[in-house]
Structure 1
């Protein structure tokens, strides 16, 4: 696990093919997994665990096991210290990673089995005893990986000693030999420590699987837990997700997870912000904001926070980690009841909607059993003094501050709960206890019949309305796809609540060298019908954000028997084949009314407020989906038909974000303090407010804000909201794809390259005045016009193709040509950019291409960063399976004949490529190396055709080296 480079599991081709199938299955549910078992209950009730990497190579590195044990004991190591520090963190268990490939394969118990470092003192036994005394479970980490046996130059695996013990020759430095050795250790531990709580296993070893290790653990120690790292293995209790990054906000760890509830999952991450997983001699800082955010968001998705700290040889944690532990010891107790034994809200356990809320707020929900009592965790506070979120039909009775008990005012209507007048914000997590009388306004699932235009065998459309989140519908990789809900007779319907299968991350990423992306709904439309045959125009056409938890589709005040949801596409694409079109949905509910009551405080700045002036034809109108159930309509034909707020108050003068909840589509105009109006474009449906925002200047104190429409029949207005502008660092999240990718190695002379780019908006922000084009170095020329759009919204794209040409009369020089998208967001000029990289091909090569180039097919392999590699990237996870390869098409040479194929790669230990040219018989290229970070080169003589050729590198049965690039000489 703790290895930042490829582990190189050399499984059989059949085994890896099965592993891939298991991973694919995890996208839509893990077949035959023991999802529920009584042995898991203590972990389900837990919030967190403490991960300790500690061994012979803990700084200062020891090369002798006895010397390490002497310094451990001499330094004052005690198990009680670890147990007490875990308790400060609210951790219910400790995972001890001492038998670790990068820490000397140390066994912290007096093992009778020779083969690697073993202590005379029973450190593991002492830790188990100390943990049991204070209710902290102990789990033992076991590695499958012998490849780091000589990382320090000193051999850490004793093949001779183990061979003598077994009475046969066993090479522990090979996977089969190490598998046999570690297999024996599992049984030694089971015999010695009946009160251990389980094994945390870092990937699989073929020997273990062939000899039914896990099944024997189940039979011998049925109460023990089994955890596996980074893959969903059915026999395991827990899926651990290692060190995920790249999400927004950075602390929202579950956005990178891929395993649906109720499967037990861990978020496995380092508390020290920098450094290795083990102590390497420094006092690395702990980012309190990041770490507390991860702790809470994991609880909000029923994930366990497995936090790694770095104990020194004496067992003590460096000062900054101890300081964080002490902080947690005082910070968590007041909110412990909102975390311990609770489930994540907005998913299968019920609860309001987690994620992004109003005015920059972000948070998660935890729920009591039955979800009548819920806890709103506000991790990023809004830029105002209120929190507004979707209530998921829960009728709220009372809201209070979890830390202080203070009762808070709230308003509920139109599908939203608004908590008002919040003054006391915790720096890291403001928690509100929300007491409800349960959900209301949904038709019983049993009264609805669901059908689909496509379904996977075993996952029919009826699962959408069966009331069980453990049964789900699967599109069988079909999109577009239609889902039809039959209400039985003509009934009112106002919204859909959709819980998609939480079987993918929410954003595009590379995880351990493999591409991942969201398998969730992007573009969709909703239609209604009385007979199921005649549908008319869709009542809603929009895009759904790629976000975890329940999502809502408000459709206005409809009366119909049939409701059809057409899913036009998903957020993923062919670049992530394991997620492309893999749409699955747990449940869809149909709401016929919103929760709320008339006797409650009014949300500030409602359009219908009696404080406002309504001029001309502006008048009140009913609107169930609106805040307060009213709106102002009749705002068309200019400023004579307007609603005016006379007292929009801010403390200090400046530019502010003004959001308008507009019903319908068309333009709205906003005039502040009599200034010239600013126009914004609404794009919604009648009787359902959709937010549009504009930047406006406000003076300190009261301001006069007038809203009207220049259209003949303008949109209605639900309410406005005023908040400070987003932070200066804020840039709406987009995905910019540029092809070709990877350095383009060009021959001498003037050259031209065809470049394409696509910009996608990934968040619910409007990008205005969008322009997309390459920015050329001096002397280069461009054929093709910039792509432009007046506005882009969630899920919308802008794309174009150009030809760029280098200066005439000279060779290409190394250059980055940025393809740049420029746009406005709330009047602020912003950019997103990605480079096209070009370089002059060496004179002794007739062809050269990076492994990560978009022109290649890399199957189930993936791209990862590599600081010393050409272009800063390489392709990893080649081999071990027929679908993990690197294939180079259109390898062009001037004439038929024999050429030298140069393979630039990185490798740790002995590995092989098999190279096939134009589908011919493969030739083996054997490699060997240390560390997997420094590129090396091997050559092979190949016979090529004149013009285009195809070269494939693979190894169907064992892991191959990581590939930097190929070239032909």
Structure 2
């Protein structure tokens, strides 16, 4: 039986229900499978966008193939370039909607360009000979069929071949055509590794294409772009940008381990995904950082390069490949054959460390060796990170082989005396004696759980089962230790099913579903509880730690008061999920304490040393309240050059208080210290002037203040502003009527970074002639998750239209004595005289369901709403559309679209009316007009399409 005949048999079996698999079962089956093993062992892949429209563009298939061959194309070149990058696979994107739908293989199925030379077959054979897998890109999208002014899809030829009329320019027709191509490829190329599929086609899904691929080629991989489809082996996250640091690609992903995940990104800084005639620069810093950061989250780096017509890479991309061929080998063991640490596979905590340092941890699951990748070096000569209970026995610089000094206490590993930094990634190999200090047998319960995801999953030892809070907030988890025991900290591993970097990705709002504000209480009997600690956790990946001092209790309760997600991200709003919570009873201790410990400094007055399990070195100095007479003095704080430095003081404070620092006998500098625990240190920083060589630093304060340690590092660069979220409403252009108008403005500033900012002020600024009612919102200081809110009314001059103005809202604050700020604005314009009502689609007065906002430079207000349609919740609703009288009106709809699509418009809950539109290019606004009947006063208008994608929406108006 041929493969095509077998295909028919499989279809029949599927339809008969013999191969039926539920979606949930399929999802469980496809998370792990032996066919995935080669990809799990991979670090990277090479993505090649190359086809007819590779510059110089070809519109004739035969001419393109002639120039490919005549230019000297060879498959071995691509395979060798992949190996330079440490890539285990190549994805070939030639049957691509923006590259002419060319097929790089001889095809018996007419409909678009197909080569006579078997380019795909040659590439597969070359890869097989050198241990590199080849995956074929397939598109579902016919909408770019005539982008170049020439029809690239031949509906007549395919219709004659199939014996029925098929329009390839429609999704249904293109689905039939591409469906046939899948089976042709499966029959011809046994050694292909699988398909990389750019989204789904309804025809494929209806005819169970993926299930048939599983039956016919069970060892092939399936990957889907931008969405996590259960039957697929991988989810690929395309071109995420805007994170801080910019290389931290995992911050924008949303797929928990052990699900296979790719980061798909362009290596060239600018230009198209394919060669457009230019040799665009490659940012080595950015892309080495991505490579390492992805490895630290078990994400595969699928790096897109832009080969020319003859297959050769542009010079700057080839140069990057050559650089990687020399840069990776010395640290190969730390990025290949490893998993991301701090998650499912164990390991220390990745992310932001001391003094601006940032990096990831990788772990070898077989040997247990961990690798600390310092991608952004600190402004100090040491790196300090959470050890997650691992007792460290040795540290060496992987590139140089140098054995490093280190200390360990208070839950932290400090690697000291670092003088040699790699420009892109300093790697330390860390040997450990395993994890210690955690209780086993802890039982968990919760005040709310979603069916199938109970609280017992929190302490079952598996990151693959989890607790779902069922959208309840606040919500509490109680941990029963079995009897009264000592507890020191909680280690919380949250589900990595939401990004930590909030952005609009393909029109979908994203935000972190992780814990923001929390409270910990304790009890001996489960009925009477005492307060232990209140605080906030950063929106960050990896295990998070809550130190609680030395507690003696049977029960601990973690109450989650709120998460980082907001209502603008309905997919993640209140969707708290936690894999594991472990209770730690002690911290690993090293053989030596780190430098600048308070207990080693000179003390005066009532200052005294005492035990502190959570402190560095296991001790602190207390009794520093009451002024300068009770102090700790460090007499040898040395720096190489004179200047201003960041002095970090790790302090304990049982009450709200302040700390003062005198440097070399100068007048003291002071900072506020918020109330926390007397046995858990937290950082407070000051900018201090130091002289070259030795300095004397004296520390004292008010209230019940204790000092654990101090450290010195450089100040943040002038370009650094702590991450904040400034929400200004109303959002979007406000279209005002004629004459004097008032605009109510509300603003909220949230500090998202683990920094302290001081002298915070939030206030709008109005143009000359306008008046502002309301005072600035101010705060003396803010720390992680702190909020500052204000409301004002801005009024335009009497007797005038507002014209076109912007009402900026600014937040200013000081960071270590330096001025910083962020801003937003409310744009206001007078609506046109022939319009009774105008509102932007992105206006905060609307409701958006599961749609999302997206930038659009050509659109009114610079934004639009995307991802409308496909389900009932993917709709935009305009409430409070006000007209003066009941009657018939003209509704003007401003939109962008590529190809024919439809809105269904519902007015005041009435029957939906289909509005069919067409256009070319999702960045070109068009306007259509429909009649509507409205009531006097407020009306509601909804734009959606429950069954198919609708156009993007820019603005509506009533005339």
Q: What TM-score, normalized by structure 2, do the two folds share?
A: 0.97
Match of 2:504 among 510, 517, 521: 510
Match of 2:277 in 1: 281
SS at match of 1:322: helix
Cα distance in 1 for partners of 2:874, 2:397 equals 52
* Correspondence 1:524 to 2:513: no
Cα distance in 2 for partners of 1:709, 1:953 equals 61
Match of 1:941 among 917, 931, 936: 931
How many residues of Structure 1 are paired with residues of Structure 2 in the alignment?
A: 935
* Correspondence 1:177 to 2:173: yes
Match of 2:608 in 1: 619
Q: Would you say the 8 A contact 1:372–1:437 is kept in 2? A: no
For structure 1, list consecutive stretches of 5 or more residues without a partner in the other structure. 1-21
Match of 1:541 in 2: 534
Q: What TM-score, normalized by structure 1, do the two folds share?
A: 0.96
Match of 2:752 in 1: 762
Cα distance in 2 for partners of 1:756, 1:30 equals 47
Shift of 1:371: 6.8
Cα distance in 1 for partners of 2:776, 2:401 equals 57
Shift of 1:827: 0.8
Cα-to-partner distance string for 1:116-135 (whole Å, 9 max, x where unaligned): 00000000000000001100
* Correspondence 1:661 to 2:654: no
Q: CA RMSD in A?
A: 1.2
Match of 1:930 in 2: 920
Cα distance in 2 for partners of 1:437, 1:682 equals 37
Residues 580/33 of structure 1: CA separation in 2 closer, same or farther (3 Å cut): farther
Cα distance in 2 for partners of 1:387, 1:373 equals 18
Match of 1:297 among 288, 293, 306: 293
* Correspondence 1:583 to 2:576: yes
Shift of 1:721: 0.8
Q: Would you say the 8 A contact 1:108–1:124 is kept in 2? A: yes
Q: Would you say the 8 A contact 2:871–2:945 is kept in 1? A: yes
Match of 2:853 in 1: 863
Q: Would you say the 8 A contact 1:30–1:232 is kept in 2? A: no
* Correspondence 1:690 to 2:686: no
Shift of 1:648: 1.2
SS at match of 1:183: helix
Q: Would you say the 8 A contact 1:607–1:717 is kept in 2? A: yes
SS at match of 2:550: strand
For CA contacts below 8 A with separation 6 or more, give which structure has more relative contact order: 1
Q: Would you say the 8 A contact 2:620–2:709 is kept in 1? A: yes
SS at match of 2:878: strand
Q: Would you say the 8 A contact 1:349–1:371 is kept in 2? A: no
Q: Counterparts of 1:471-870 in structure 2 under 5 Å?
A: 471-536=465-530, 538-597=531-590, 599-600=591-592, 602-609=593-600, 612-664=601-653, 665=655, 666-683=657-674, 684-711=676-703, 714-870=704-860
SS at match of 1:939: strand
Shift of 1:467: 0.5
Cα distance in 1 for partners of 2:937, 2:432 equals 71
Cα-to-partner distance string for 1:896-941 (whole Å, 9 max, x where unaligned): 1111110011111111111111111222221111112111111111
Cα distance in 1 for partners of 2:780, 2:123 equals 64
Q: Would you say the 8 A contact 2:252–2:502 is kept in 1? A: no
For structure 2, list consecutive stretches of 5 or more residues without a partner in the other structure. 1-21
Q: Would you say the 8 A contact 2:381–2:419 is kept in 1? A: yes
Shift of 1:572: 0.3
Cα distance in 2 for partners of 1:643, 1:880 equals 65
SS at match of 1:392: coil
Q: Would you say the 8 A contact 2:27–2:231 is kept in 1? A: no
Cα distance in 2 for partners of 1:371, 1:543 equals 35
* Correspondence 1:207 to 2:203: yes
SS at match of 1:172: coil
Q: Would you say the 8 A contact 1:865–1:872 is kept in 2? A: yes
Match of 1:967 in 2: 957
Q: Would you say the 8 A contact 2:267–2:282 is kept in 1? A: yes
Q: Would you say the 8 A contact 1:745–1:848 is kept in 2? A: yes
Match of 1:247 among 238, 243, 246: 243
Cα distance in 2 for partners of 1:959, 1:33 equals 30
SS at match of 2:598: coil
Cα distance in 2 for partners of 1:942, 1:234 equals 42
Residues 782/371 of structure 1: CA separation in 2 closer, same or farther (3 Å cut): farther
Shift of 1:30: 9.1
Shift of 1:372: 2.9
Shift of 1:830: 1.0
Which stretch shows the higher mean deviation, 655-664 or 322-331? 655-664
Match of 1:324 in 2: 320
Cα distance in 2 for partners of 1:923, 1:530 equals 64
Cα distance in 2 for partners of 1:808, 1:507 equals 44
Q: Would you say the 8 A contact 2:26–2:231 is kept in 1? A: no
SS at match of 1:728: coil
Q: Would you say the 8 A contact 1:288–1:324 is kept in 2? A: yes
Match of 1:12 in 2: none
Cα distance in 2 for partners of 1:30, 1:120 equals 38
Q: Would you say the 8 A contact 1:639–1:710 is kept in 2? A: no
